[in-house]
A = this chain, B = another copy of it.
C-alpha cells in the first residue's frame, strides 16, 4: 500500500466536503479551501479538512461547480508544478481539453463520482457518500503515477471504479442522465394545463417518470452548457422518436413500435451487481398505512427465506391503505403468495 498523498481540496460543497471527511477518516492529511469564506469555515468545522500550510500538496482535488472547474484545474496545475490534479465535475471532455492546452496533462486526471443527494452544501456532506457508487476515471494523457494516485482516492472512499474515455463518458451521461432529466422535467411541465382533480389520476407510472423532475436546478445550467452537443444530440433523438408517433398515419402502430424499441433498450440497464437485469416477479400486497405494518410484511417474507429484490409502495389517494409491491425471483413468487395469504395478508396481484 502506497503512503497517502498530502491532499488539498478546492471547493467545500457537498462533493468536496464529503471527499474530505471520507479521506480524513481513513487517516489522510487533507486541507480544504473555498472561494466562499463561510463555506470554507463550515467545512473545516465539520472535519472536511484543515487550512493549507506552506508545503505543496501532492494531490489537488478540484470540487468546484462544473462551470469554473476547467479554470480552477488550469490554475492548480500552474500553482503547484509537482502536484497531481483531479476534478470531479460531471462533464469531462471540456476540462480535459483545457488541461491538455497547459502542456501539463500528464498530471491531470478527470473523474466523475456518480453520487449525489437531494440536498447540497457541506452541511449535507457524508464521508460515505461515494461508497458502493460508480466513480468514473478518465485517464486521458495522465501518467501512470497520476492514475495510481487517483485510484488511491477511489479505494479509500470504497467506490466502484470505472475507466472511460472522456468523450465517451460525456456522450453516455447525456443519454443516461442529462437528457432523461430534461425529458422528466418536460413530462412534468406538460401537466400545467391540468386541474388538481385531473392530476389526482396520476399513478405510480407518472410518479416514477417524474421523480427526478423534483431535482434542484442549480448545477444543471453548467452541465447543459458544458455538455451541450451530446445533450442536444440526445434531445434530438428523443424528439425524433416522439415526432414519429405524432405524425404517423397509424398512431397505434407507431406507439407500439416505440414501446417495443424502448423495451429492448431498457432491458440493457443493469439491475443487480452489473449483471443483466433479472426477470423478477411482482407480488402486490395490501398493507394498512400504519407504523410497523411494512416490517410485519417483510418479516413474514423473510420467514420463508425469500429475498426482496426490489420494493415499491403505492399510497391510495383517498384510503388509509397502500399497495406494496415486492419483486422476487420467479421461482419464489407462488410460494410467497401462498405463505402471505396463510399469514392473513391480502395479495392484490402476483
Q: Which residues of A contact B (CB under 8 A)?
A: 67, 114, 117-118, 124, 126, 128-129, 131-134, 136, 160, 162, 164, 168-169, 171-173, 175-177, 179-194, 196-203, 205-215, 217-218, 220-225, 228, 231-232, 234-239, 241-243, 245-246, 250-256, 258-263, 265-274, 282, 286, 289-292, 294-295, 298-299, 301-302, 305-313, 315-321, 323, 346-350
| Interface pairs A-B: 7 shortest CB-CB | A185-B262, A221-B252, A172-B198, A188-B262, A224-B255, A186-B241, A213-B262
Kindly identify which residue among B206, B252, B349 contacts A225, using a CB–CB cutoff of 8 Å: B252
CB contacts (< 8 Å) of A160 on chain B: these are 316-319
CB contacts (< 8 Å) of A134 on chain B: these are 200-201, 317
Contact assessment for A269 and B186 in the assembled complex, using a CB-CB cutoff below 8 Å: no
- A234-B190, A274-B318, A348-B126 are contacts. A201–B215 as well, Cβ < 8 Å? no
How distant is the Cα of A216 from the Cα of B323 in the complex, in angstroms?
A: 21
Contact assessment for A211 and B210 in the assembled complex, using a CB-CB cutoff below 8 Å: no
Kindly identify which residue among B217, B228, B267, B270 contacts A260, using a CB–CB cutoff of 8 Å: B217
- A160-B318, A294-B308, A301-B295 are contacts. A177–B206 as well, Cβ < 8 Å? yes
Kindly identify which residue among B212, B236, B266 contacts A205, using a CB–CB cutoff of 8 Å: B212
Contact assessment for A208 and B206 in the assembled complex, using a CB-CB cutoff below 8 Å: no
